[in-house]
Structure 1
Amino acid sequence: MIDIWNGKIPGYKKTDDFAPALEKYLIKDKKSRGTILIFPGGGYTHRADHEGADVARFLNENGFNAFVLHYRVAPYKFPYPLLDALRAVKYIKSKSEPWQLKRDKPAVLGFSAGGHLASMVGTNNDLYRNIYKKKLNENGFKSDQIEAESSEIEALVLSYPVITAGEFAHQGSVENLLGKSPSQKSLNLFATDKNICAETAPTFIWHTADDASVPVENTIQFSNALSNKKIDFESHIFPNGRHGLGLAADNKYVSRWTDLLLDWLEEKF
């Protein structure tokens, strides 16, 4: 595990037995390859194992270097998961030469609540970047060489993502990230479909229509927002499938999403 904060974790609770960390899955050859950073889901209470290492190995098998971010979850609140995510992007970029990574920006892949976190990163919005900088300053974090890197990403991949704080919200994710009585300002920050900008990364997004945990409207609203901002995107909604499928190896029809993704990455990334 890699300490992305070099022992100076902003907002870290010293009684905590968990520290944010990056797990690397690099292809061992001398070829410079594309890089994908993975955020597992878990409703901001945990990080689902099957949406991390298994996905990284799948990406390795298909020619991509991969990283899994073990980001902070409850009792940590916003913006600490975002801080870990943006720092991870910067950290990976800072290691592009020794790890033989392509210098161009990495892609980010998130599942469920990890998809929400990825969508905050992938908007490439100064709104979230400024929150990051402000919180680092508030915690007395001294800038280092890693902070000289941009947190901008090249491509965004969202799997049954949590997006909205409105009618179709996943209330558990909202409460775990923002608390029980969040302000309207906080809810507006949570709803990433409202914060897409012209610089938002090209996006691949998929969901199942009968998802009983995170309504498919989360994907529909994000897709609509991308369309309104004229952001390049590809969206797939499968008719049936439980929430949290990951690679969907146990669902022959939905498992097609991985082939669709690989085709999209070849075209866009």
Structure 2
Amino acid sequence: MNIMKKIAKIVGIILAIFALFIGSGYAILEINPFGNKPGKPVADIEHKVEIWGEEVAGNHSGSKLDDMNIKGNPNRLLATFKFSTSIVGEEYKDNEAAIDTFTYVHEIVGGYEKSTYEDEPYLIPYTRSNSDSAIIIIPGGGYGFKEMDGGTAEGKEVAESLNKAGINAFVLHYRSNPYEWPIPQLDVQRAVRYLRYHANDYGIHPDKIGLIGFSAGGFQTGSFINLIQGKNLFPNSYQLDDIDAVDDKVVSAAMIYPALTYRYNVPMLFASFKDEDVKSPEVREELLNQTDLSKHFSTANIPQFIAYGTNDLAVGVKGPQEYIQSARVADADITEIVVEGQNHGFKQEHYMREFLEWVKKVFNSL
């Protein structure tokens, strides 16, 4: 029986992660799954707006391949399978190669990112006339990829639902593996500042901007508001510009089936931090403590919304529950949506109506 339970759990984990790839619009298996060719284009990529100026904080001309542990000559299907099982679990495992190999096959060979550290983060706008509110949408992907790279469930589809409700939406393409903390979070900060700086251009009130993040995008959201917001964590060589002087305030933050700690996805640390740090037991424990958002809750002033499934085998339920408990201890305004029986990557029908009602109340109160 124990063996059968273990097998069932492994299958559930695989299905949970694959939901991000297949179940909601992702087309990795439609595009030569046994080969290495460019992937399906990002939806509405022709409308993208780059959020950084002449200099992108954290970028340089070095090769990513020099820093990545890429094994063999993998195909997409095999790399996806290995990645989907490599980022889950409370036990430390040296899964650097599986994560890096997948990022290489999907993001770099797929054409979504460059082979050098010269990527240019961007927003894809979905605007509405006569609307002064906006939500920045942050897709997930375990920091090994972004769901919007070939998919639409955590990007365009969410934007369309927001538009129907009369809310402007902007989907964020941020930097991920092999970029390291806090580079992905700086892209969230820059996106907020970019929208506030260009608020008049989009007809947006600068104090009516919120966030919604999915899975690792939920960690992007939570880590930004609790650990990054209001701080200057730029590399020393970076030259500040006018947008960097803008307030990075947001008025709402939503996290959907979020990873709010690495405690339950320990191997995923390899997608966000230096491999030598992750391999060191002492440093790894420090990283786990530093990135456990329930231990660093500091945003009682920001209304927050969290939805998670009770059968989430990818990130589990403890992370969201611990974070919510910390928020309540701090007397924060937090809304909890428990989706009974749902695994990771559940569809909009399980949270969107409640989210729209909630966020409209937040915007209308301003």
The two structures have a TM-score, normalised by structure 1, of 0.87
Matched residue, 2:247: 150
Equivalent runs, 1:15-94 vs 2, <5 Å: 15=63, 17=114, 18-27=119-128, 29=129, 31-49=130-148, 50-94=153-197
CA distance change for structure 1 residues 151 and 173 in 2, over 3 Å: closer, same or farther?
Answer: farther
1:232 aligns with 2:361: no
What are the ranges of 5 or more consecutive residues in structure 1 without an aligned counterpart?
250-254
Preserved CA contact (<8 Å) 1:43 1:172:
no
The whole-number CA distance in structure 1 between the counterparts of 2:299 and 2:156 is 32
Q: 1:128 aligns with which of 217, 220, 228?
A: 228
Preserved CA contact (<8 Å) 2:207 2:249:
no
Larger mean Cα displacement after TM superposition, 14-23 or 68-77: 14-23
What SS is found at the alignment partner of 1:214? coil
Aligned length: 252
Matched residue, 1:204: 305
1:242 aligns with 2:343: yes
Matched residue, 1:170: 265
The CA RMSD measured in Å over matched residues stands at 1.8
The whole-number CA distance in structure 1 between the counterparts of 2:269 and 2:247 is 28
Matched residue, 1:6: 53
The two structures have a TM-score, normalised by structure 2, of 0.65
Matched residue, 1:260: 354
Larger mean Cα displacement after TM superposition, 177-186 or 17-26: 177-186
Q: Report the residue type matching 2:250 in the other structure.
A: I
Preserved CA contact (<8 Å) 2:131 2:166:
no
- Give the Å deviation of 1:175: 2.5
What are the ranges of 5 or more consecutive residues in structure 2 without an aligned counterpart?
1-47, 64-112
- Give the Å deviation of 1:225: 0.8
What SS is found at the alignment partner of 1:67? strand
Q: Report the residue type matching 1:262 in the other structure.
A: L
What SS is found at the alignment partner of 2:125? strand
What SS is found at the alignment partner of 1:89? helix
Q: Report the residue type matching 1:146 in the other structure.
A: I
Q: Report the residue type matching 2:333 in the other structure.
A: D
The structure that has the greater radius of gyration is: 2
The whole-number CA distance in structure 2 between the counterparts of 1:148 and 1:52 is 28
CA distance change for structure 1 residues 219 and 99 in 2, over 3 Å: closer, same or farther?
Answer: same
Preserved CA contact (<8 Å) 1:33 1:63:
no
The whole-number CA distance in structure 2 between the counterparts of 1:20 and 1:106 is 19
- Give the Å deviation of 1:172: 4.1
